[in-house]
Chains A and B, each alone.
Chain A
Amino acid sequence: SAVISQKPSRDICQRGTSLTIQCQVDSQVTMMFWYRQQPGQSLTLIATANQGSEATYESGFVIDKFPISRPNLTFSTLTVSNMSPEDSSIYLCSVEEAYFGTGGSDEQFFGPGTRLTVL
């Protein structure tokens, strides 16, 4: 199973600044995802980040606000740009591994999350 680490684990930032969140996986994975969980709301997918191609953003999320890098199969970054208090949230990265064979199915793993507070 994949082990995922995220940095920073939490941060308090000023309005208008940017924060880059790092996600490191201990194995090579194809699919990486970035999620946001705002207080009292369900988990929301921001974008899918595949190595070697542009990230695919979900409706309501744009690259200028949430630029993503995926330089290799074990690492990705998400930047939250020009932050406002509405960006206060937990940001999670996730990977999906596919298991093939009898009854093979995909399995998802999540990082510990980055708790962001914007003042």
Chain B
Amino acid sequence: SQELEQSPQSLIVQEGKNLTINCTSSKTLYGLYWYKQKYGEGLIFLMMLQKGGEEKSHEKITAKLDEKKQQSSLHITASQPSHAGIYLCGADIGSGTYKYIFGTGTRLKVLA
């Protein structure tokens, strides 16, 4: 079974709409990473969350990590076609050692 569940698997929204992508684990997440992958451009690191309840924003993208450090959400406000791509969450579930796992990704399409 997947250790890091990501939902939804795909999402099509109209430009200007808000959207949320979720990332859930049964294990404690010692570091939660959000990435964006565009075809031909490689994987881009967006944000890292470490503390329970932490929230970070970059332009119109906000990511939160819950208090129990087992769930994170990525929220995009007023989506634009430039937001289209695959969003991937990754996490460090090793206590003291690096053990990275990744979700299966969410494919986002924004209709102009």
Interface residues of A (CB under 8 A from B): 31, 33, 41-45, 48, 58, 92, 94, 105-113
A41 to B, closest residue via Cβ: B104
A42-B31 CB under 8 A given contacts A109-B45, A111-B42, A113-B42: no
A59 CB to closest chain B CB (Å) equals 10
Candidate in B45, B90, B103 with the most chain A CB atoms within 10 angstroms: B45
Residues in B whose Cβ lies below 8 Å from that of A113: 42-43
Closest to B44 in A: A110
The secondary-structure label for the interface of chain A is: strand
Partner of B103, one of A31, A42, A112: A42
* A42 adjacent to B48 (CB under 8 Å): no
Chain B binding surface, main DSSP class: strand
Residue of A nearest to B104 (CB): A42
Contact of B43 (CB < 8 Å), options: A45, A58, A92: A92
Contact A112 B42 (CB under 8 A): yes
A43 engages B33 (CB within 8 Å): no
Query: Which B residues are CB-close (under 8 A) to A108?
Result: 33, 45, 48
Q: Kindly state the separation between the CA atoms of A112 and B40 in the bound complex, as whole angstroms.
A: 8
- Tell me whether A48 and B98 are in contact (CB under 8 A): yes
B90 & A43 in contact (Cβ 8 Å cutoff)? yes
A42-B102, A42-B105, A43-B88 are contacts. A110–B50 as well, Cβ < 8 Å?
A: no
Whole-angstrom distance between the alpha carbons of A33 and B43 in the complex? 14
Residues of B within 8 A of A111 (CB): 42
CB neighbours (8 Å) of A110 from chain B are: 35, 42-45
Residue in A closest to B33 when the chains form the complex, CB atoms: A108
Whether A106 lies near B31 (C-beta < 8 A) is yes
Bound CA–CA A113/B31 (angstroms): 23
A50 to chain B, nearest CB (A): 10
